[in-house]
Structure 1
């Protein structure tokens, strides 16, 4: 079996543009930020946490939208491997959603952050040691670079915060990701949540989009 992507050269991963190299760079940055969070204090600590959240959720969205469908098609036990990672993603999603509702300084909030960080580190290891090497075995370097370009485009336009309404798999996550990404990036730019009315409108728009997409798929299957 191919060794963990953590120990391979960039060339072995398919080059700088390969999805494997891009994944590893993101993972290294997430690890660095979590270490920084542990040492930071006050406003700097909160700034680092926000940066972690933005990177983790845009990264996971790109995986679930672009990468895991390829793993399920290309790897013999891809369904089992991606299901396990998706469960980790969902638990991280739920924890960070709770963190964002709790006030700074609340000890429960810090416990949930520590649990989320532990899960993120476990998720990185599962991906780098098991799932991504299996994809590497089944995929040539040229395809890994093509996947890397699509993955990067998805990451740059992805939601940057947890959303309970977003499914873990396409097409639902891709359909709902468009309006929610706009909301999240406005929130990041303004430095906090936008108004309640805007949240309700975006939630409604996301629900309508998903319902319309589901209905269209059903009609196509019947025709």
Structure 2
């Protein structure tokens, strides 16, 4: 992920990318290594996206949008549920009977979150911010995603300043683990 453009264009591109991966998961007839690789890729993308939103998007929502604290808190709560599901998926054997229901629950949670952001949050943000502010946020989101963790860490802080301080270090460790194991390379 890292598509360019303002924050809304960037995040909507991420949404479409994850939806495409979910479509590929649903179309798979079997399990095994190919499914694990795709679940790992979805996890990487969702974690990076969430961390970047928590570092920059939601603080901007709090600052610029009327009722922004309530909106941001709800979005962070959505992320928490998704991250816990991702952690469970990471620990679940691909052949387990639990895998399919967990994947469906993840897809449902993410779809509801995407729908809410695109229908509610993004229009409010577009109205509250200047085009330059949206472009600047897009740049910050892209930088954050490049340094973000790639694995779920449900107990990690989700609000600044702690998340901005810890995420790059955790991201470095995650990317090192991914390099050694080959995770996310397919």
Shift of 1:192: 6.5
Query: Which structure 2 residues correspond to residues 78-93 of structure 1 after superposition, within 5 A?
Result: 78-93=68-83
Correspondence 1:122 to 2:124: no
Residue-by-residue CA offset, 1:145-201 (whole Å, 9 max, x unaligned): 1111111000111011111331111111112212210121122222379xxxxxxxx
**2:102 counterpart (95, 100, 112):** 112
Stretches of structure 1 lacking an aligned partner (at least 5 in a row):
1-15, 194-223
Number of residues of Structure 1 aligned to a counterpart in Structure 2 = 178
- Partner residue in 2 for 1:63: 53
- Distance in 2 (CA, whole Å) between partners of 1:43 and 1:103 is 11
- Partner residue in 2 for 1:49: 39
- Distance in 2 (CA, whole Å) between partners of 1:186 and 1:110 is 29
- Distance in 2 (CA, whole Å) between partners of 1:101 and 1:46 is 11
Residue-by-residue CA offset, 1:88-110 (whole Å, 9 max, x unaligned): 10011111111111212111132
- Partner residue in 2 for 1:179: 169
- Distance in 2 (CA, whole Å) between partners of 1:171 and 1:112 is 32
RMSD of the alignment, in Å?
1.4
- Partner residue in 1 for 2:87: 97
- Partner residue in 2 for 1:38: 26
**1:133 counterpart (123, 142, 150):** 123
- Distance in 2 (CA, whole Å) between partners of 1:99 and 1:178 is 23
- Partner residue in 2 for 1:204: none
Stretches of structure 2 lacking an aligned partner (at least 5 in a row):
none
Correspondence 1:22 to 2:10: yes
Q: Helix, strand or coil for the counterpart of 2:98?
A: helix
Instruction: Normalising by structure 2, report the TM-score.
Output: 0.91
- Distance in 1 (CA, whole Å) between partners of 2:103 and 2:164 is 27
Rg (Cα) greater in structure = 1
Instruction: Normalising by structure 1, report the TM-score.
Output: 0.76
Contact residue 35 and residue 94 of structure 2 kept, 8 A:
no
Shift of 1:112: 1.5
Q: Segments of 4+ in structure 1 off by > 4 A? A: none
Contact residue 18 and residue 45 of structure 2 kept, 8 A:
yes
- Partner residue in 2 for 1:75: 65
Q: Which has the higher contact order (CA 8 A, sep 6+)?
A: 2
